[in-house]
Amino acid sequence: MDGSLGFNTFEKQDKILVGMSGGVDSSVTVRILQEQGFSVQGAVIRFSDAHDGAVEQAQAAAKALCVPLHIIDAKEDFEREVVVPFCESYCDGRTPNPCIVCNPLVKFRLLARKANELGCSFLATGHYARVEQCPDGFYRLCAPESAARDQTYMLYRLPQDILARLVLPLGEFEKEDVREIARDIELPCADVPDSMEICFIPDGDYAGFIRQRGYTPKAGRFLGPRGEDLGPHAGVDHYTVGQRKGLGIAAGRPLFVKAILPDGNIQLAESGEEYSSRLTLSDIATPDGKPLPDGEYRVKVRSAAQAVKCRFAGGMPGSGRGVVTFPEPVRAPAPGQSAVFYRSGIVLGGGFIETAE
């Protein structure tokens, strides 16, 4: 590869603000946009004290790519909109996905505000997804070239005013292509592994993080498949639906977390019993702001899951609620996660899972 990417999307080149983290994806996004002829500036968001390393990495990447970098302090917004709901949700026995909440309420809102201040018409990030304007005039997220890297699930709640100015160059690339570009231009992040942890809990100890902040998650007992008492558990913040490892019980056979009950008890099930055929959803969002129509869709119930066939039926008009049924049961959909609806690889909406049966 000679460093010339030969990739073009826009007829009119303009000023663009790229959300940078110092990682390979956002850094290569900068390079691609430079090759397209955009006037590129970068912004890194300091969401919490745990993000100081990311700020330093973004500064190093911006220097290597010769782009100005703006640091956005988001600690108060992030604490209010993401961290507090995350802790409260876990204490209530749910499994939240903080990125899904952060993207519309903090990350992209602050990037858009900074872009407006700088006179940048467009925003860009290193997410693996695409944005297209559909025949009805609305912009929608679409699946990327790399099915293995698809991040549309994480972005499904982005509103129309963000989608209309969002540029996602990596939607056309495979991950190894991105790393190859980074190696060709000698970026230090070219072969740095992707982080798999929640950004504000880099050690992965969710329960420790929650308890250090003064929360007291619900206590209770493990209930076996036939309702038998299998002893106390460590607190609902230690478990999620579908979990098998780390239960700390000796039942003589593999057991899974089937449900975390409102009273704090945890219902266990044997292998094969952790499947659900019906979900109820709340706070359903669509890219066009209209109610999600009843009908047949494909749906993902977690970020890494395959999209499967389902039928959606909405609740009362304006309620933001609905019911999903599956012709084939799905494994361990967890309350607090999202169900995201697709047709032909296009995101048409999604909502938060309330119950699974």
Catalytic residues, by residue number, are 102, 199
Number of residues that make up the chain: 357
Contact residues for 290 (Cβ-Cβ < 8 A; gap 6+): none
Structure token pair of residue 120: 């940048």
Question: How many CA atoms lie within 13 Å of 346's alpha carbon, on the beta-carbon side?
Answer: 14
Beta strand extents in 271-345 (DSSP E only): 275-285, 295-300, 308-314, 322-331, 338-343
Considering only CA atoms, which of 215, 197, 192, 202 is closest in space to residue 87? Answer: 215
